[in-house]
Amino acid sequence: MAHIRALAVRAWDKYGVRSVIHPHAGGYIEFEDEIEKLLEDIPYEIAGLCLDTGHLYYSKMVPIKWLQKCANRLDYIHFKDIDLDVYKQVMEERIRFFDACGKGVMCPIGQGIIDYNSIHKLLKEIDYHGYITIEQERDPRNSDTSLSDVKQSVDYLKSVGY
């Protein structure tokens, strides 16, 4: 946490860049207790927060609950979706996160388990005006359907009011 704080302060003081911390599956800040520690140790004035719906779910958290809980800390959001069948399989296999992505644990938005209708309602309730990035992590050697997958995600999100 001291390193994050020091880097965020330096980025702002020296370069005028606001840091935003992105808890990430397979990273050093991933699980509920680690995010809680981050929220406790790094005030919003020092660095913002980027929550990722797919990473939250993958790490056994409910995305909408964390978006609501951290509403006053959010600078940025990443949208992903999780294929529940693949998720259950990779959890049983106990493989690394990026290996799970290679097996297709992340799917186009609207085809997975994450409730984007409820997230849309919540973002309106909390008056979120920050950026949202649509992502789908995969094995880069399997990227031939990336454009099609992103189009499906965008089309789905538009269909539910985004």
In a domain, 11, yes or no: yes
Domain assignment present for residue 114? The answer is yes
Residue 87 lies in a domain: yes
Residue 91 resides in a domain: yes
Q: How confident is the model at residue 140 (pLDDT cuts 50, 70, 90)?
A: confident
Q: What are phi and psi of 72, to 5 degrees?
A: -80, 0
Q: Is residue 158 part of a domain?
A: no
The count of domains in the chain is 1
**Domain presence at residue 148:** no
Write out pLDDT tens, residues 8-64: 999 999 999 999 999 999 889 999 999 999 999 999 999 999 999 999 999 999 999
pLDDT at 50: 98
- Predicted confidence at residue 138, as pLDDT, reads 79
Per-residue pLDDT, 145: 79
Other residues' Cβ atoms within 10 Å of the Cβ of residue 47: 22
What CATH number did the domain enclosing 66 receive? Answer: 3.20.20.150
Cα(first)–Cα(last) distance of the chain, in Å?
35
| Position 156 in a domain | no
Domain holding 83, by residue range, is: 2-140
Which tens digits make up the pLDDT trace of 86-109? Answer: 999 999 999 999 899 999 999 999
Query: Residues 160, 120: contact at Cβ < 8 Å?
Result: yes
- Give, in degrees to the nearest 5, the angle at Cα 18 between 11 and 69: 130
Average pLDDT, rounded, for the chain: 95
Residue 34, domain member (yes or no): yes
